[in-house]
Structures are given as structure tokens and as C-alpha cells.
Structure 1
Amino acid sequence: MAYEIPVTQARAELAELINRVVYGGERVVVTRHGKPLVALVSAADLQRLETEPEQTESPATSSVSTTRPLTSAPGERPRFGLAAEHRPPQHPRPGA
């Protein structure tokens, strides 16, 4: 778990934060208004992150994204009623 610190406090404690990251093995997340802004990680962590192959999708995500859309069986819509229907977003025509 990373240690979070506001940017104003991080600015005042930069040397200490660097020591915590390098010698303490911590990861520090600098926040602004409570939202993550940047992270301080050791050079070794950065090298490991850059050399590891990126895992773009989890197995669950990839299996869900490869399913085909399902349509209602004939006669089921009138029987159960229509609560909602997915419509793909319509993109405006250029110049329109």
C-alpha cells in the first residue's frame, strides 16, 4: 500500500520522502485536493515496471468483451415488456 501525502506537504518533506522510497521500500502518492497526482517509486521499482509485459486485460475482462450480443427470443419482449434497450452512440457527421 502506498503512503499518500498532499503536494504542499510533499514539497516541504521531499528529502524525507525520497529516503522513505529508496531505503524504506515505500511508494508515495502525492495528491492534490485528495486526488492522486504523481507517485514516487524507487528506480528499481520503475525498472521492474518498465520491463514487465503489460497486462492489458484481466481474464474476466477479455472473456466478457468477447461475448456476442444477445437478442430476445421471438415473442419475449411483448410478454415481459421492455425496460431498457441499448443503443450504440450516434456520432455527429463532420460539418453537420
Structure 2
Amino acid sequence: MTYEIPVTQARAELADLINRVVYGGERVVVTRHGKPLVALVSAADLERLESEPEEVEEAEGRVVSSVSAIRPLSSAPGEPRRFGIAAEHRPDGGERPPGSGR
């Protein structure tokens, strides 16, 4: 299980967080402004992660190859009208001209 905590709160509760990781088997993600900053994991988790980098790379490669094998699908008829401009593909990067709304 993963537990998220802001960095300011983590400073005050470091000893408790360490206990949660070591004895509770949790992983703690420390955030700043709601974005992940660092993670606290047990030494056993870290050792496992560092000893199996080949397996992680192989899994990432399988995901990339399976995603690249999927052919692009077009929207169903009527979908662009149903969802409006959000459903359109803009090859120019989606920039809107100044003064055109949102």
C-alpha cells in the first residue's frame, strides 16, 4: 500500500513514517504542492528494485512494443459533434488563435 504525505508534515512525522515503511510494509510518497517528490521504501524493497533492473527494462520494452503495435482508431461517427472541440485532433499542437475563447 502507498501512503502520500506533504513534505512539511513528513518532516514532523519522520520517525512514524519510517516505522510504517519498515514494520507496516507501506511505501510512503512525500509530495510538494501535490506532486510526488520522493518515496520512502524499505531496504528490502530497494534491494529488490536495484537487483532486478533487467526485468523492469524488459517489461517496459514489452509495453512499448505492444502499444506501438496497436493501430490508430478513428472516432465513431458523430463523436466529434457530441464532444465538441475536445474530440478533434489538432496536428498543429492544439494552439488556439488569440481571442478565440478559452
The interval holding the TM-score normalised by the smaller chain is: 0.5 to 0.7
Whichever structure has more helix as a proportion of its residues is 2
Structure whose alpha-carbon radius of gyration is higher: 1
C-alpha deviation, 1:59, in angstroms: 2.5
What CA distance in whole angstroms lies between the structure 2 residues aligned with 1:10 and 1:43?
19
What is the root-mean-square deviation in Å for CA atoms of aligned residues?
2.7
TM-score, reference length from structure 2 = 0.59
Which consecutive segments of 4 or more residues in structure 1 shift more than 6 A?
A: none
Query: What CA deviation, in whole Å up to 9, does each residue of 1:21-51 have, x standing for no partner?
Result: 0000000000000000000000000000001
| Gap change, CA 1:19 and 1:59, over 3 Å in 2 | same
- The aligned amino acid for 1:34 is G
1:7 aligns with 2:10: no
TM-score, reference length from structure 1 = 0.62
| Gap change, CA 1:58 and 1:18, over 3 Å in 2 | same
- The aligned amino acid for 1:61 is V
Q: How many pairs align?
A: 73
- The aligned amino acid for 1:20 is R
- The aligned amino acid for 2:20 is R
Q: Comparing 6-15 with 50-59, which one deviates more in the overlay?
A: 50-59
